[in-house]
Copies of this chain bind each other. A is one copy, B any other.
């Protein structure tokens, strides 16, 4: 081998395709513009549709594209910075939070949630559903699990209907002294119900933010919030008064 063997490492077609498309998006398209359809693009690049789709999937994962069945593929706007600040340690539903109540049920939680709450796996808890909207688009769906022991003063009279009961549960929560909280962020895929609320297909990538609220020496509530990974950037503002001019704060290419 006389020459440096750079060509002997064939880049996958979809990877190269992704690079080419990415550059084209930067230079030849504007936000919201609709791309040629997949069959057309595949033909234009001389690849099978499946290969072209592999490239599009990556670009969608990175928040560069948005695809909707029956409509087409459009150039996505930059990701929305969504504040999930840690320093403001308050109960959910405290004044100024950005969540919309959806409804509230009483049911046995998933086993993992019961374990985290330190309760029996078949002990029913309040499950408050909330959703979060930013810039007119749904960005997150939340399930807030509240053991009945955390809101002992809640009576059946307080809970005539879904959102009213949700309000009552959150109101009762404020009575507890919040001793602390912790958070975790991980990648997940949207369950069917979350997907519907987020206007995505089931299985869409989401950032799952799990928050545990501590009071009276135990976990008094557990929040599982799923954010659209394609359109959201979770921000943890921690410095004083520095303005964020988020635009192309994307990963280096």
Closest residue on chain B to residue A79 by CB atoms? B186
Q: A188-B62, A247-B115, A251-B226 are in contact. Are A239 and B110 (CB under 8 A)?
A: no
Residues of B within 8 A of A63 (CB): 186-187
Residues on B with beta carbons closer than 8 Å to the beta carbon of A238: 86, 89, 180-183
Contacts of A240 in B (CB 8 A): 179-180
- The yes or no answer to A61 lying at the interface (CB within 8 A) is yes
Contact B112 A234 (CB under 8 A): no
A155 contacts chain B at the CB level, 8 A cutoff:
no
Cα–Cα, bound, A45→B15 (Å): 30
Q: Which of A38-82 contact B (CB under 8 A)?
A: 50, 58, 61-63, 79, 81
Please tell me which one of the listed residues B113, B205, B239, B247 contacts residue A252 in the complex, with CB atoms under 8 A apart: B113
Tally A residues with Cβ within 8 Å of B. 62
Contact assessment for B236 and A191 in the assembled complex, using a CB-CB cutoff below 8 Å: no
Known: A191-B251, A207-B207, A224-B251; 9 extra A-B contacts, CB below 8 A, are A50-B50, A58-B203, A62-B188, A115-B249, A116-B249, A182-B235, A182-B242, A184-B233, A186-B251
Contact mask for chain A residues 181-206; partner B; CB cutoff 8 A; 1 contact, 0 none: 11111111101000000000011010
Q: Whole-angstrom distance from the CB of A158 to the nearest CB of chain B?
A: 25
What 10 A-B pairs are tightest by C-beta distance, nearest first?
A: A180-B239, A110-B252, A187-B229, A186-B233, A183-B236, A112-B248, A185-B234, A188-B251, A184-B235, A182-B239
**Residues of chain B lying within 8 A (CB to CB) of residue A203:** 15, 18, 58
A1 on interface, CB distance cutoff 8 Å: no
Most B CB within 10 A of own CB, among A79, A110, A233, A252: A252
Copy number of this protein in the oligomer? 2
Q: Does A250 contact B (CB under 8 A)?
A: yes
Residues of A that sit less than 8 Å from B by CB: 15, 18, 50, 58, 61-63, 79, 81, 86-87, 89, 109-113, 115-116, 143, 179-189, 191, 202-203, 205, 207-208, 210, 212, 214, 224, 226, 229-230, 232-240, 242, 244, 247-253
Residues of B within 8 A of A61 (CB): 187, 189, 205
With A61-B187, A183-B235, A184-B233 as given contacts, are A248 and B86 in contact (CB-CB < 8 Å)? Answer: no
Query: Which one of B187, B202, B249 lies within 8 Å of A205 (CB-CB)?
Result: B187
Q: Are B184 and A115 in contact (CB under 8 A)?
A: no
Known: A15-B202, A242-B214. A249 touches B207 (CB 8 A): no
